[in-house]
């Protein structure tokens, strides 16, 4: 028996953006002065309702005042910084997997979105950005010649 799966293009675009961001981060990262200078890219979930598109960024351990949200030319950029805590103790650490440092993630928004249609909420380490869908422009009917009937008059001359 075959199983049908609904195709959700928005989900595939978001997954592609996530993978490309991670790829670019790893390509342009690198080592410098003996310390890792690689930036990190937060994971994001994207879903759609009737009236809006919602982007949820995982930003645990980052204070709200270290997060920036910018909207410019149809793109939303989320940036910030997670600081590494340097606690001195006698315990031995074997592995450091949590990323730290600055990050930036830019997402293209639907055409027609305005700044007034964007709201953000930060709770429990998750930043939710709600973007209101713009109204779809409705076609207008344009009448030829305006609202008045044009009459063309002329005279004929015999030559």
Q: What is the model's pTM?
A: 0.59
Contact predicate 106/51, CB 8 Å: no
What string of pLDDT tens digits covers the 159 residues of the chain?
A: 566 666 767 667 777 776 776 676 556 554 443 344 446 788 899 999 999 999 999 998 889 999 999 999 889 999 998 877 665 566 676 666 667 788 899 998 888 888 999 999 999 999 999 999 888 777 888 888 765 655 566 677 776
Contact predicate 104/77, CB 8 Å: yes
Q: Is 116 left (phi over 0), alpha (psi -120 to 50) or beta?
A: alpha
Q: Distance (Å, rounded) from C-alpha 118 to C-alpha 127?
A: 13
In the chain, the N- to C-terminal Cα span, in Å, equals 87
Beta bridge partners of 78: 69, 105
As a dihedral over the C-alpha atoms of residue 93, residue 95, residue 97, residue 103, rounded to 10 degrees, the angle is 60
Topology of 9-28+38-83+97-132 in CATH?
A: Immunoglobulin-like (2.60.40)
């Amino acid at each position: 028996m075959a199983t049908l799966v609904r195709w959700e293009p928005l989900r595939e675009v978001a997954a592609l953006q996530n993978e490309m961001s991670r790829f670019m981060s790893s390509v342009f990262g690198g080592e410098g002065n003996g310390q890792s200078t690689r930036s990190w890219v937060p994971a994001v979930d994207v879903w759609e309702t009737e009236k809006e598109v919602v982007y949820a960024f995982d930003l645990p351990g980052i204070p709200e005042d270290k997060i920036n949200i910018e909207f410019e030319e149809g793109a939303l950029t989320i940036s910030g910084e997670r600081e590494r805590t340097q606690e001195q103790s006698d315990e031995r650490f074997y592995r450091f997997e949590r990323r730290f440092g600055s990050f930036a993630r830019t997402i293209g928004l639907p055409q027609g979105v305005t700044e007034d249609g964007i709201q953000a909420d930060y709770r429990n380490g998750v930043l939710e950005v709600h973007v209101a869908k713009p109204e779809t422009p409705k076609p207008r009917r344009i009448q030829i010649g305006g609202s008045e009937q044009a009459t063309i008059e002329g005279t004929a001359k015999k030559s």
